[in-house]
Amino acid sequence: MGFLWVVVAALSVLMGICVLALIDQYQTLELIRTSLKLEDNPSPIPIPMDDSIKPSLVGLPPRLDAQPHLALLFLSVSCTTCRSIAEGLRRKDLDLVWIVLQQAHSEEEGRAWLEGLNMPLDRATIDVDEGVARAIGIDTVPSVVLYRSGEAFLAQTLPSFRQLQPLLNARTVPSPLPVAKEGTVRL
């Protein structure tokens, strides 16, 4: 009987050491992620806060101007994070989302990428010449611009689908970023 208690005590000590080692590894991983700036935090993107970037004025369908809430996603065919964001969208209602697909060499390549992820082609623009992105001032993918009835009010990078989820619902969207005097978002 005493032997069993010794075995239980040894296993308990061994288990405690393993738990402490896991905690140490987690803390080290967090330090590495922080020092390499690999944190899952979006960064604001400065955009004009006037009507100059209404969806219809930058080359998107005019019907998007009337949507009460629109998430305009900028994704790339060559971006792994973009692919994971698109895969996360498959489980969501896409009525509030419009995809601007960049870095496709042709319309066919863009269509194949969207079809491969089961994304509806009628909810996307394949921006081969990146004219839509330039018109808005987006130079980072993945990123998102949120609109209310055709007026942009928030733009940010998207490091993960987790950061996109609250933006897909008009009730959970964070407050708009403060506006600077010259009409751009203040960083």
The mean pLDDT value of the chain amounts to 84
Q: Residue 174 — very low, low, confident or very high, per pLDDT cuts 50/70/90?
A: low
**CA–CA dist 106, 102 (Å, integer):** 10
Q: Does residue 144 surpass a pLDDT of 90? A: yes
Q: Is 67 left (phi over 0), alpha (psi -120 to 50) or beta?
A: beta
**CA–CA dist 74, 89 (Å, integer):** 13
Q: Residue 60 — very low, low, confident or very high, per pLDDT cuts 50/70/90?
A: very high
**CA–CA dist 5, 153 (Å, integer):** 65
Q: What is the predicted pLDDT for the residue at 176? A: 53
The answer to whether the CB of 81 falls within 8 A of the CB of 159 is yes
Q: Does residue 150 surpass a pLDDT of 90? A: no
**CA–CA dist 187, 180 (Å, integer):** 9
Q: Which of 156, 134, 123, 154 is nearest to 57 (CA)?
A: 134
144 versus 94: which is more confidently predicted?
144
The answer to whether the CB of 71 falls within 8 A of the CB of 168 is yes
Q: What average pLDDT does the segment 118-145 reach? A: 91
The answer to whether the CB of 67 falls within 8 A of the CB of 128 is no
Q: What average pLDDT does the segment 134-150 reach? A: 91
Q: What is the predicted pLDDT for the residue at 12? A: 93
User: Which pTM was predicted?
Assistant: 0.73
